[in-house]
Structure 1
Amino acid sequence: MSPNDRVENFGTPWEESYGYVQAIKRGDSIYLSGQLANDGADLVAMAPVDAEGAITDVGNMGQQMQQTYHNADVLLKRFGASLDDVVEEVVYTLDIDAAFAAAGPVRKAAYGRDDPQVASTLVGVTRLAIPGQLVEIKMIARV
């Protein structure tokens, strides 16, 4: 890490157990690790799972997305940036249809405009890190 790099964390247990930072600023770029719906170490709006850990209802997708964008904004503000500085996002989800339905209104509200000026990719995955997690969003911002 160069002396000009700066990192930020939330202090969650998974940062230490997995071994990573939530965000790193290098030069004029800020790289955010995949954000999820947490408030500190507490998970927000986690989807119900069955005995095998399979998601049984994706109805919390919008709530998880809202919290995820909020967390990203909190991290960006620590660097003097905001969601207005995001140039790229990748949305990983367990359910493409539910994510697509929620993403329009949630993203427009998060970015504060009807046409968010960010390159965005939506990717369906078979599993995310935490049981009940429906969505994870990674971002790159330029300042």
Structure 2
Amino acid sequence: MSASQPFGKKTAYWGVAWEESYGYPQARQVGNDIYISGQFNHDEEGNLVAPAPLDSEGKPSDFSSMGEQMRASYDNISKLLALYGATLEDVVEETLYVLDMDAAFAVVGNVRKAAFGTERPQCASNIIGVSRLAQRSQLIEIVCKAVIGSGTR
């Protein structure tokens, strides 16, 4: 399954179970603005990419897959933006929600620069530490807003 727009061009979905149970689209376009719901480390089939191992309490016990999870999140964002004819160059703001700030800071610079294809991504960026994310083995979730045509290149 891949990102699609089954109800018209304004909303996008992956077709994963949690969209229906929670009741939301992955992306929504309003005018030239595209709002991307929190993207995390899943593939197009809904399988988790590089899930963190869990301890006996069901909490992540190893944060070394932060970079892989972050790359999967940006990949999902890129695929959703493409449905609207946009790219990461059109992203004007992003917020990264992470379980471990140290693990995130160890990889975020390199992963962001690679994802955006530049040493200085031209979007406002926030990083916020949280105590839990939707999937127990999830270490990061990225939310962003893009404006079609705002790309810097």
Classify the TM-score, shorter chain: over 0.9
Q: CA RMSD for the aligned pairs?
A: 1.1
Contact 1:91-1:121 within 8 A present in 2 as well: yes
Matched, 1:115 2:120: yes
Alpha-carbon shift at residue 101 of structure 1 (Å): 1.2
Matched, 1:101 2:106: yes
Secondary structure of 1:39's counterpart equals coil
Q: Distance in 2 between matches of 1:82 and 1:9?
A: 17
- Structure 2: stretches of 5+ with no match in the other structure: 1-7, 149-153
Larger strand share, 1 or 2: 1
Secondary structure of 1:42's counterpart equals coil
| CA deviation string 1:59-100 (max 9, x = no partner) | 000000000000000000000000000000000000011111
Contact 1:85-1:142 within 8 A present in 2 as well: yes
Q: Counterpart of 1:22? A: 26
Secondary structure of 1:97's counterpart equals helix
- How many pairs are equivalent? 140
Q: Distance in 2 between matches of 1:62 and 1:89?
A: 17
Q: Distance in 2 between matches of 1:97 and 1:6?
A: 37
Alpha-carbon shift at residue 122 of structure 1 (Å): 0.3
Runs (4+) of structure 1 exceeding 4 A deviation are none
Alpha-carbon shift at residue 116 of structure 1 (Å): 0.6
Q: Distance in 1 between matches of 2:107 and 2:72?
A: 13
Contact 1:95-1:134 within 8 A present in 2 as well: yes
- Structure 1: stretches of 5+ with no match in the other structure: none
Give the TM-score of the pair, scaled to structure 2: 0.89
In percent, how many aligned pairs have the same letter? 51
